[in-house]
């Protein structure tokens, strides 16, 4: 009789420890990169240096996120929200950032070669020493943006609002 009670007690404790482990695991937060790729929402996330090349992040919410040094080559961020995001030294070459909101974003020293920034909102963004060679900035809002030492060779600025408020013809 006592051995049956001991066996039942052991099974109960084993079941209880399993349930405890399961509940702890279900409370665990997904990693920021996993959260971004599944939910397309990761404001204030630390994604520094992450490889997000070719990622499909259309309309992703990344306001105030740290993406410094991240690889976003060929990523689709069409309509994304990146206001005040840190994209310093990020590789955004060939990325689609059309209609993206990037007001006050730090894109200093970022690689934006051949990126699509058509209709992007870059008001007050820091593009110091950014490489915008061949980028499409048609109808982009660059008012109050910092473009010191930025490379704009072959960039399309048709209809863009420049830092001084002038509209490029």
Round to whole Å and give the CA distance between 116 and 162.
Answer: 17
* Residue 14 pLDDT > 90: no
pLDDT in tens, 120-158: 999 999 999 999 999 999 999 999 999 999 999 999 999
pLDDT in tens, 17-45: 554 444 444 445 678 888 888 899 999 99
Q: What percent of the chain has pLDDT over 70?
A: 83
* Residue 95 pLDDT > 60: yes
pLDDT of residue 5: 67
CB 120 within 8 A of CB 99: yes
pLDDT of residue 4: 63
pTM above 0.85, yes or no: no
Lowest-pLDDT choice from 1-10, 13-22, 90-99: 13-22
Mean pLDDT of the chain: 89
Round to whole Å and give the CA distance between 146 and 155.
Answer: 16
* Residue 64 pLDDT > 80: yes
pLDDT of residue 167: 83
Q: What percent of the chain has pLDDT over 90?
A: 73
pLDDT of residue 17: 54
* Residue 62 pLDDT > 80: yes
């Amino acid at each position: 009789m006592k051995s049956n009670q001991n066996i039942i007690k052991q099974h109960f404790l084993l079941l209880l420890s399993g349930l405890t482990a399961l509940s702890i695991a279900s409370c665990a937060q997904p990693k920021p990169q996993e959260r971004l790729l599944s939910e397309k929402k990761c404001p204030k996330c630390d994604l520094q240096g992450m490889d997000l090349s070719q990622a499909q992040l259309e309309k992703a919410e990344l306001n105030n996120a740290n993406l410094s040094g991240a690889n976003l080559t060929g990523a689709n961020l069409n309509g994304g929200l990146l206001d005040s995001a840190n994209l310093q030294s990020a590789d955004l070459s060939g990325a689609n950032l059309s209609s993206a909101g990037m007001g006050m974003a730090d894109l200093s020293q970022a690689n934006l070669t051949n990126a699509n920034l058509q209709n992007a909102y870059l008001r007050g963004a820091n593009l110091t020493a950014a490489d915008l060679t061949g980028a499409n900035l048609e109808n982009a809002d660059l008012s109050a943006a910092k473009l010191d030492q930025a490379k704009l060779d072959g960039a399309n600025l048709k209809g863009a609002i420049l830092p001084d408020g002038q509209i490029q013809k």
